[in-house]
Amino acid sequence: MSHCPGARNKNDGHTAATMRAMGVEIERKFLVTGDGWQAGAAGRRLRQGYLSFDPERTVRVRVTGDRAWLNIKGRTEGIRRLEFEYGIPVDDAVQLLALCQGAVIDKTRYEVRWDGRTWEVDEFHGENAGLVVAELELRDEHEDFTRPPWLGLEVSGDPRYYNAALARNPYRAWTGD
């Protein structure tokens, strides 16, 4: 067991309403090794871009299929930050993606069940191809969880792995791949 930080799950207590205040996000992020996570994992393609990279508040727009969101995140403190997410029309989101700074992130997100929990595994494409990370949202910073065997190095505190950073400085640019 590892000690982990926690936050409200993005779906806890929320409906499919277009406006969802997320509150505090507490998550751990790890590099993924091997392909043991893939068995039975279903993915969905995401495109997301950033309207603001200000470290005090990042503003992201995300599109997946026929759904889209505007997301505002506060400054990261350890593995905790404020997060608010609002559903928006897909057509608006597509237009907002054209206004984004940096590159639009293209990735496939998989929900992987392990030991009674749902991990989000992101497999990146384009300039971030080769990067696969797993995230687990927690209710508090000291919450325990079991590490799946496919977890590698923890990168929760490494800002290079923040999606906003990958939009400005893609993985391939700093790994030489």
Burial of 136 (0-12, 13-18, 19+ CB in 10 A): buried
The answer to whether residue 171 is catalytic is: no
In the prediction, which pLDDT does 97 show? 97
* Mean pLDDT (whole number) for 91-98: 97
* Mean pLDDT (whole number) for 150-156: 96
* Mean pLDDT (whole number) for 3-27: 45
Choice among 50, 110, 161, 171 that is catalytic? 50
CATH, domain 2-9+16-172, list 1.10.260.40, 2.40.320.10, 2.30.29.30, 3.90.1720.10:
2.40.320.10
Q: pLDDT tens across 42-67, in order?
A: 899 999 999 999 989 999 999 999 99
